[in-house]
Structure 1
């Protein structure tokens, strides 16, 4: 049974421009299932320096970092783990007695999700932000060699492509066996009905991978599923990266059944 919240309770948190509930629901459910004296709360901020200072001052154990803070937070930290230094992007901070280390569990989640794919697959990744960098680095480090970074921002797109030895294109075209959307296309709001890739590319692919968490079935993945393609969802990314954060914060590895319970609980209580 989880202890009552008191003076010894450890706090974990998240920082995002648009906080969601998945992380809070997932972590707090796992604290309940594992009986850990932790609590998790999401926040937004307009003062990143002060927020990171608060993590030190209040001995907050861990902090998830979302857009637009994944790169801006780096100068405020004391060290970077390999997962973050490989892509210059942080999505997780661990506080060890005032020493703040940045990690990137998005990278680790992608590595796990593509582990059984054929490394000879040509791929196309759409996007040039922090999540796109995590995906591209994970693919490159996993042994994929034939890839294109699709990004309208040429400077950002070429920077990622050149860093990892892939090609760049301003718009999606041609064929790729593995298509990965690392943009907001397909999310709720203005991008809700936007396909991440043209129908002809979806028809020609083998695997469709979308990092968008909500909705789980984006227009891109719906089109891919209708075409009989294998789909990897943003929900899978969210669960794996949150699990890795949980282990970093608590040094406890929950059972697969507990992880499934927490993920289902979080999605049932958006």
Structure 2
């Protein structure tokens, strides 16, 4: 990669960001497609997000991804919001166009593609989602838009979950409910897919599901946390013989769409496979 006086920065805003694999993805794509950009990570605490956004404009940063915990609050500081991102109420991708910051959301698209790529049919499926943050919003709305049967959101803060319930009830036909109660075996045996959208498991061996539970139904378990590769939730699922989808699949898919937003270039299927190979090498170390 030739970094020079015309090279533009594209970055990641979040807290923490030290675990991020996004630089590996985007710097590979920038180099392959001869884009004069470099991808960097910016660890921005919640109370400093306004200054972070001002920095994008003042430094001429070309764009950003947005991760936990900024996906919802960052909307306040952007100039324009894509219709899908506005409905979701969360942004994970920003494009700076001549000082105008436009917000998009590629999380839901990336997640759904990761399931479809594995050959699963989502139509009429019963879904349970753990968490009610920005990732949950995007995933729940994308699932509702393709007619899953029902979505059950579990989150300690019922107010945040209710916001998502209201959005889906007002815009889609999918049955939606929420609850602050913990998940039990009866819950697991009444769903088809379980999705963790919280950061639980990112920096600990904690699982959002009681690991003593032993579901009798062969559900699909998805964790959007990709580092570690095998989170406590994924380990629990494998121990119980359940099918799993790792967080890296969603990360790659949402990243490829963000790359398209910034550059107008659609990466190839070969790029997906190459990025997965890069990721596998990092987890082998």
Q: TM-score scaled by structure 2?
A: 0.85
Give the secondary-structure state (helix, strand or coil) at the position aligned to 1:11.
strand
Go from structure 1 to structure 2 and tell me whether the alpha carbon gap of 1:119 and 1:197 turns closer, same or farther (over 3 Å shift): farther
Corresponding residue of 1:180: 195
Shift in Å at residue 196 of structure 1?
2.8
1:129-168 → structure 2 map (5 Å cutoff): 129-165=133-169, 166-168=176-178
Q: Per the alignment, in what secondary structure is the counterpart of residue 164 of structure 1?
A: helix
Q: Summarize the Cα distance change of 1:58–1:151 in structure 2 as closer, same or farther, 3 Å threshold.
A: same
Per-residue CA deviations over 1:40-63 (Å, capped at 9, x if unaligned) read 111122422222122122221110
In the other structure, the counterpart of 2:271 is 258
Say if 1:15 and 1:43, in contact at 8 Å, map to a contact too.
yes
Tell me whether 1:117 sits opposite 2:121 in the alignment: yes
May I ask how many residue pairs the two structures share in their alignment?
Answer: 266
CA–CA distance in 1 between the matches of 2:254 and 2:195?
Answer: 17
Q: 1:32-83 CA distances to partner (integer Å, 9 max, x unpaired)?
A: 2222211111112242222212212222111011122111111211111123
* Greater CA drift, 87-96 or 15-24: 15-24
Shift of 1:200: 4.0
Aligned counterparts of 1:203 and 1:34: Cα–Cα separation in 2: 48
Residues 16 and 66, structure 1, Cα contact 8 Å, conserved in 2: yes
Check 1:185–1:222 CA distance in 2 against 1; reply closer, same or farther (3 A cut).
same
Q: Could you tell me which residue of structure 1 aligns to residue 245 of structure 2?
A: 232
In structure 1, C-alpha distance between the alignment counterparts of 2:223 and 2:13, rounded to whole Å: 22
CA distance in 1, matches of 2:124, 2:271: 35
Listed as ranges, the gaps of 5+ residues in structure 2 are 170-175
Which moved further from structure 2: 143-152 or 158-167?
158-167
RMSD between superposed Cα atoms in Å: 2.0
Q: TM-score, normalised by structure 1?
A: 0.90
Which residue in the other structure is 2:28 paired with?
Answer: 29
